[in-house]
Chain A
């Protein structure tokens, strides 16, 4: 079956702009996760959804970052007033509860 998909694969924006990153999880997976990975580092957790609700948003760095999953499937990560330090690969994963997390190919965000 289809894996986790993310769009766009690459996003270049200017400092101060707003961006949206989309994630389509594996069908039937109730849990969805967002991670951020900087060059040379391991992924860092941002937020986790169980169904439609954010079960853990402790990894969001500040209030410029927000994520939604209105129907319990597709999720959108929203970043307001982007800064150069937001440049990274944003990874989405999905899973059945307490099982392996399967990752998408990521969105590479570059803030100029």
Chain B
């Protein structure tokens, strides 16, 4: 079963603009991770944020976590054509290491 819901399901923006994707989940979590996937194959790990963290940065990526609202957001600044991909959030619960994924956001960056 899918835990998370990503919003929007699809997003199309111009190169250079910022892209924001949101993720909501249902249960208490230990960590939340964001992944990128190109062409329906392997997932690339982007960033992990722990339940006691509120914000994390990595290069052009900014992730926030609001455990009271059970939601997270991923911001990609100054988007590039190479950022075109599907983005997934995944959560793991305390005591369980399996990841539960949302259905993903398909991001298209137009040159």
A residues adjacent to B (C-beta < 8 A): 31, 33, 35, 37, 39-45, 48, 50, 55-56, 58-59, 89, 91, 93, 95, 97-106, 108
Contact = CB atoms under 8 A, between A and B. Distances in A.
A105 B40 CA distance: 9
Interface residues of B, number: 25
B63 to A, nearest CB: 13
B41 interface: yes
A37 B42 CA distance: 10
Interface of B is mostly: loop
Interface stretch (B12-20, B65-73, B75-83, B98-106): B98-106
B100 A45 contact: yes
Nearest to B100: A45
B101 A44 contact: yes
